[in-house]
Amino acid sequence: MKIKSKKEIVIKSLKDLPTMVVSTGSIEINKTGGWRSVYPIIDYDKCNSCMICWKYCTDICIEIKDDRPVIDLEYCKGCGICAEECPRKAIELVPEGK
């Protein structure tokens, strides 16, 4: 099995992000942040605002403010997909209560 070489994804602005279908239906009324046991924290010294975390967030709880990702903890379930997908490892999962 031949493995293809990895290609670096470079997103220079929000306009470079792919078009995505987003339905916020009941998500906006049901704050699900109380379900989690860990929560993500973004280290902005490491973050290059590539927005990959925003793209992969299944709960649509990452907003873009001033060209930076910001996590809305009222809706974040702590799944960790953002931390796993972050190419710079700028997102850390912290246990609730710390």
DSSP-derived secondary structure for 25-66: GGGGT---GGG-SEEEEE-TTT-----HHHHH-TT--EEEET
What pLDDT was estimated at residue 18?
65
Return the domain boundaries, the chain: 39-98
* Cα separation, 96 vs 11, whole angstroms: 32
Residue 97 pLDDT level (bands cut at 50, 70, 90): confident
Task: List the CATH code of the domain at 39-98.
Answer: 3.30.70.20
Has residue 93 got a pLDDT over 70?
yes
DSSP 14: G
pTM of the predicted protein model: 0.70
What pLDDT was estimated at residue 13?
76
